[in-house]
Structure 1
Amino acid sequence: MPPEVTSAQKSSDPPPRTIDVFLDCRTWRCDESYIREKIPFINYVRNKDDADLHLLITTQGTGSGGNEFTLQFIGNNEFTEVSRTLTYFSAESDTDDEIRNDLNDYIKKGLFFFLANLPVSESLTINYIPTDLQDETQTVDEWDSWVFELNADMDLEGEESEKEFSLRGDAKAERITPEWKLEFEIQQYYERRKFNDDDTTRVFNTESRRADLLLVKSLTDHWSFGGSSNLRSSTRDNLALLADGSLALEYSIFPYEEFTEREITFLYRFTGGYNDYNERTIYGKSSEFLLEHQLRSNIRFTKPWGEFRTEINASAYMQDLSKNRLVTESRLNFRIYRGFSIYVSGEYAWIRNQLSIPAGNITDAEQLLNLRQRFTSYSYEIRFGLSFSFGSIYNNVVNPRL
């Protein structure tokens, strides 16, 4: 185990000259108050422009059900040309307390490089915990990278004139290695709504089931090939049964290992499937075989100034190319200056492929309760926000009272 950096300084005493750090943690797994409390030998500032060091922490899920944390130590001022990156892996079985303690250890290891020549280093100690390296190298995974997950929940709500009951359940199995990715998941959902109005009682049921299988082979640092299969039924979507299978090829401009920092990918997917409908559709179909092709592109950059991501997804049925859909979604978080930042997000869908819409009019109850999919030619959503803060540049004190 690598050495651990600890502080011999009491947290109530002002530390000797140290560095100003901007903590930029972009994951809900970060307990920033805990970090500031347990690592008191640096100054925490509220804006990256005031910092000697920008600590950017991002995360992504791993094949074992855990998380991979990437810690980027980006120097500023006298450390402008200095940067370091550390990676920490947490297991799915780790508790939140174990994760935050281990993450703090990695933060301290990365900080020591920048603190070594400053007066504060005189108050730091390095502890070494010996381990049996031979045992570590011979560790055997008895599960061979397989991870299984079961989830179930029940929701019961009510008042005098309205009652709602729902059940959800899903089971998932996955095995992810550098060469292969295998995921299988089944889901079940049932909802019952009951309304009492004078002497009238109305009951509405919604139910859906699905099973998904995904298999992906890593070809190179930039290419992946895979296949998937789906089974689905849904009262809302007028599907007694949807069964399909697809093949896909994906190209990544940047190596996949740089996913936490930057990503530009292009995917082509060809799908063949069968739809069996609960009710005859607006196109007069009770069932049909379909062939579909899809193009998708993902772009994402996570940088000290913020984050940008966009996705473009286009698909069309080969029997009739006029039955198609184009969806684009973008989001920008941008720190303009010191405490001023903005975010903009938007989504637009051009919809021409709603083949399962049932014939006949939708009732008021089905419309208000969203019990049945409705015909539309487009959908959109736009969000905009900003934040501005000013005052002391420091953010060292932790006070959990009340």
Structure 2
Amino acid sequence: MIFYGKQNVNKVDIEAVVSVLQSDFLTQGPAIEKFEQYVAKYCGAKYAVAVTNATSALHIACLAAGLKKGDILWTTPITFTASANCGRYCGADIDFVDIDKKTYNISVEELEEKLINTDVKPKVVVPVHFTGQSCDMEKMYRLAKQYNFKIIEDASHAIGGEYKGHKVGCCEFSDMVVFSFHPVKIVTTGEGGMVLTNNKDLYDKLILYRSHGITRNQDLMTKKSDGPWYYQQIDLGFNYRMTDIQAALGYSQMQRIDEFVTKRRYLVNRYNDLLKDLPLILPYQIDEANSSWHLYVVKIDFNKVNKAKVDIFKEMKNKGVCLNLHYIPVHTQPYYQSLGFKQGDFPNSEAYYKEVFTLPLYYDLSYEEQDYIVQCLKEVLE
């Protein structure tokens, strides 16, 4: 079977993990800081905080932003549910902004219109860099300054990507950026995530929330230390700490990130060429962004295809090719419908869901496998 994504772990990665296993520190050791500093430098950000996964990264980012009960978080319906759930973890309400019909990212035009016409403004907006392509962050940043909301970029798909000549993660047009290191992502730590920021106050809060709300920083304590053993819990935090084992894998993987992204971009160019004559609408890219291509999503032209999408999935699987779908609109999930959302609320996202699928794309995908995938699509879509 050809799956839609998988990791590439080489001998050097394995040796890096073994080295930590043979060291004195399996967690809360030097590998964490080494990994954090490397990612921050690569992206051009001042600070980075490694955590257990991107969901916990989004959670503590929301907490650091001061999101709480009575506040509201806005995000896109076309994302994994974690982009919305992070607000619910803080007791906040959630609302959505529909997607752009071309990029499938959150529509900045719809965002502006909603800000103009809605009395209750968001405390936090979470744009999602879907498939690895950055949203139009400069326009969103201007709106953030005008309407006084914080921006947390959900860049779970986008490490290695660029926007306006700078790496995604530099926080030029946001307060914080979140990465995912799940195995199907571009760089993996097994499970893992990270928050980047240029704000020292936010960084201190992220560190605090990552580890039980406990600090040994005298500047943050409410009274003078009793001795070198002393610590204080000054807030309610969580155990979201990444292990040194994971960090060692992540640091090793980061040494090849440009290689990973370059190969993905080449495979995308091959797809674009091989699929151009099929009844499919291929991914659209804005001039300001250079995607890192976590996903390759195509839309079926049902004016030319007389077959149900479910049948396309089944027939491709029978040929040994596993398609996927990213994502089911969050507002159509039962949990969010129980909060009052309903079918028809975000028509662009719902139309998108009916027409798209995700093709296999990963570093080890061979050209022969890619040619086979395309040949299967030709047979299934004819």
* Range into which the TM-score falls when normalised by the shorter chain: under 0.3
Give me the TM-score of the superposition, normalised by structure 1.
Answer: 0.25
Whose relative contact order is higher, 1 or 2, with alpha carbons under 8 Å and at least 6 apart? Answer: 2
Give me the TM-score of the superposition, normalised by structure 2.
Answer: 0.26
Which structure features the higher share of strand residues?
1
| Structure number with larger C-alpha Rg | 1
Which structure features the higher share of helix residues?
2
